Structure 1
C-alpha cells in the first residue's frame, strides 16, 4: 500500500519496529501448557508466549494503537528469598506512543491465591525496579480475556492476521478517511461480514493502528473512523 506508506511517513506514524530489543529468555516449547508464537506486525518479528493469558495480553497490545512496541521475557530482576539470591524474568514489557513503559507479570488467579510469599517478594522487587525507572507494573490474570480490550482485539485479530487482505480496498479506504478527516463506518463499507473485502480491509487497518474507531471495539454503521494521529 504505497499511498498508505507515504502518508504515514509524512504524518510520522510509522512505529519503531522492535525498539525494545529481543527476549532475554527463550520459552521452551516442549513442555506442558499452552505455548506458541505468531509473527508480530507491530514488532516485525516472531513473538513467543507460554500461556493462553499471555497470548491474550499480546493480542491486546498488538491491536492497541497507543502501544508502540512490546517484548516478551524482556529483562531479569534480582531478588532475595529465604536469604538466598534469585532472579526472575517478567513476562512482557510494553512502551506506548508517549514513551511510557509498563511491565507485566501474567499469572493465573489460582497461583496467586496459593502464594507462599515468594511471589509477593518477586513482585515487590519488580515494583521497585519499575519505580526507579518511572514505569508501571501490572499483574495480569485470566480476567484479561473478559475485558473489553480483549473483546476488541479478538474481533480484529482474524482481519489483522489475514494474509489475503485486498490491498486496493485497503488503500482506497485509507485514502478516503485521510481526505475526509472523519467518516462513518457505513460510508466505507456496505455491509459487515467476513466475505466483504471492504469490511475486512477496514478492520485490518484498524488492527494495525493506521485507522481508529470513535468508540473502542464498537463497529456499528454510525461508528466514526479517522486516521490515528495521537502520538503526542
Structure 2
C-alpha cells in the first residue's frame, strides 16, 4: 500500500511570499506541492531514485510545546516511502522518512526556536516506525542532483526505436562500456556517433542504461544495461 493512501497534505497549498512555490509533476502521475527551490530540487532527486515509492507533502501536524511552554503545531515538509530493497515482496523495507527542508543558514540562525518542534517530530516519527531527518543544500544540491539535471535534458528527446535497440543489444554483449566509445562499435560518421551518444544519455534518463550517479557524468562515464530494461521500455512507451 502506498503511504499516500493513508496520509494527505494537512495544509492548504498557499504560495509563500518571497519564495518559489508550486506543484511538481512527480513521475507524471502525482502532483506534489513545494514551497522553495530547495524543496523542488529535493523532489527532483526523489523522483529519479527508484528506491522511492511515494512522497506526500506536509503530511502530518505534530503538537509540541515551544521553549516558553506554549502549545503549538509543526508540519514537516515531506513524508517519503521506499520500496523493498529485495526482490522478495515480503522483505523488510527501508523506514519512511519524515523530512524537513531548509537552507543551512536558517537552521543555524533559528535553531533555538526550531529544536523543540524537531524533538517532537523525532518522537512522533519513532512512534510511527519512521525516521525524522533534516536536509539543507549540502545534502540536496550535490553531484547526484547535477547529474539528474544533466540527463533530464535528454529524457524527452525523440530517437528511432531501431537505433535504440541496436545500442541496447550491443551494450548487453559488451557488458559495460564508456558512453563515448559505445557508438564507435556501430557507426563511422561523426554525425551518427554524436547522435548515438545523445541516444545513450536518453537511455540513461529512461533507466534503460545504468551508470554511477554519484560520480560526475561525462563522455568517459561507463554504462551498462538495466536487468529490468524490457519493463522499462514498455513503461516509457
TM-score, normalised with respect to structure 1: 0.72
After superposition, where does 1:93-104 map in structure 2 within 5 Å? 93-98=79-84, 99-100=93-94, 101-104=96-99
1:54 aligns with 2:39: yes
1:176 aligns with 2:169: yes
1:28 aligns with 2:23: no
Match in the other structure for 1:85 = 71
Residues 173 and 53 (structure 1), Cα distance of their counterparts in 2 relative to 1, 3 Å cut: farther
Q: Which gives a bigger RCO, structure 1 or 2 (Cα 8 Å, sep 6+)?
A: 1
**Bigger mean CA deviation after superposition, 78-87 or 20-29:** 20-29
Larger Rg: 2
**Bigger mean CA deviation after superposition, 182-191 or 125-134:** 182-191
Deviation at 1:123, TM superposition (A): 0.5
Residues 32 and 144 (structure 1), Cα distance of their counterparts in 2 relative to 1, 3 Å cut: same
- Structure 2 unaligned regions, length at least 5: 85-92, 185-191, 229-237
Match in the other structure for 2:88 = none
What do the CA deviations read for 1:66-98 (whole angstroms, capped 9, x no partner)?
222222212221111233322221111112223
Match in the other structure for 2:214 = 216
TM-score, normalised with respect to structure 2: 0.70
- Structure 1 unaligned regions, length at least 5: 1-14
1:140 aligns with 2:139: no
Residues 79 and 193 (structure 1), Cα distance of their counterparts in 2 relative to 1, 3 Å cut: farther
1:115 aligns with 2:110: yes
Deviation at 1:40, TM superposition (A): 1.1
Measured in 2, the distance between the counterparts of 1:167 and 1:23 equals 41
Question: Over aligned residues, Cα RMSD in angstroms?
Answer: 3.6
Q: Is the 8 A contact 2:24 2:40 kept in 1?
A: no
Measured in 1, the distance between the counterparts of 2:215 and 2:176 equals 16
